[in-house]
Amino acid sequence: MTTKSVTQRAIAYRVTCRDCSRLTTFLDDVKQKYPSYFCKPVPSFGVVKPKFLIVGLAPGLHGANRTGRPFTGDDAGELLFRTIHKFGFADRVPSNPLDDSVKLIGCRITNAVKCLPPQNKPNTSEIRVCNQYLRSELAGTAPQSVILALGGIAHSAVLMAAGLKPSAIKFAHGARHFLAGDRVLFDSYHCSRYNINTRRLTESMFHDVFQAICADLNSMPAHQAITNRVSI
Ligand code: URA
């Protein structure tokens, strides 16, 4: 399949979505305060039929909600982009938050919830409403793909999108779970500034998860594996 035909596939996303009243009211308030911020549902970023889908929680106030790209413009994003570049899933580390020349390789980044939630905490109904988009993202992954859930909420949202009860499989940092359709779910603590500062997640712990993911992807038949990976 050529890149062109792959990019024509539609994944559900509505920049005008206002399905969650608490979130849209909050976004409208934030927009008043910071008129230059994106303040809309943040679209996913990366290749359209990824082998590797990274699922975060929700846009951060001064990160993705400002720039309009997941994990862009805050500390969580710096660690994530540094790591995906190290492991060959991005062609560069963005030089600044608005550097839109960075290209992901075989990889896509999305969030369990597309809108900035108050206190960074989406409620259960918002996670459920937004799951329509995550379901579409999951359906858009390549066969035998790997999904990385950053934190417990992303983990539960992935399970929900896969048609499982959010509690069907327990979240555990570094764990590897099997999903239907030959998909594998890895869990990691979220790469948030809080988790880094408290050392719940260190850069080396994060690298270990990525190393396991690369081992998984490399164990696929050669024509399906992601190429261009740097050695670690
Ligand atoms: N930025 C995102 O887009 N998602 C997160 O989970 C955190 C920061």
Please report the pLDDT score of residue 99 as a whole number: 73
Query: Within 13 Å, how many C-alpha atoms sit on residue 131's CB side?
Result: 21
Pocket mutation for ligand 1, best pick of 37, 42, 57 (most atoms within 8 Å of C-beta): 57
Measured CA to CA, the distance from residue 37 to residue 30 in angstroms comes to 8
Pocket residues: Cβ below 6 A from ligand 1: 56-60, 63-64, 70-71, 74, 76-77, 111
Query: Which positions ≥6 away from 28 have C-beta within 8 Å?
Result: 39
Measured CA to CA, the distance from residue 157 to residue 110 in angstroms comes to 12
Per-residue pLDDT of the chain (232 residues; tens, 9 = 90+): 333 334 445 788 999 999 999 999 999 999 999 999 999 999 999 999 999 999 999 999 999 999 999 999 999 999 999 999 999 999 999 878 777 789 999 999 999 999 999 999 999 999 999 999 999 999 999 989 999 999 999 999 999 999 999 889 999 999 999 998 889 999 999 999 999 999 999 999 999 999 999 999 988 654 444 433 333 2
Per-residue DSSP letters for 50-99? -SEEEEESS--TTTHHHHSSTT-SSHHHHHHHHHHHHTTSBSS--SSTT-
- What element of type H or E holds 150? strand 146-150
Handedness of CA 97, 98, 99, 101 (dihedral sign): positive
Pocket mutation for ligand 1, best pick of 53, 71, 158 (most atoms within 8 Å of C-beta): 71
Cα 114 versus chain centre, distance: 10
Q: What is the model's pTM?
A: 0.91
Q: Which domains does the chain have, with CATH numbers?
A: 21-217 (3.40.470.10)
Pocket mutation for ligand 1, best pick of 65, 74, 111 (most atoms within 8 Å of C-beta): 111
Distance from Cα 153 to the centre of ligand 1, integer Å = 12
Distance from Cα 56 to the centre of ligand 1, integer Å = 5
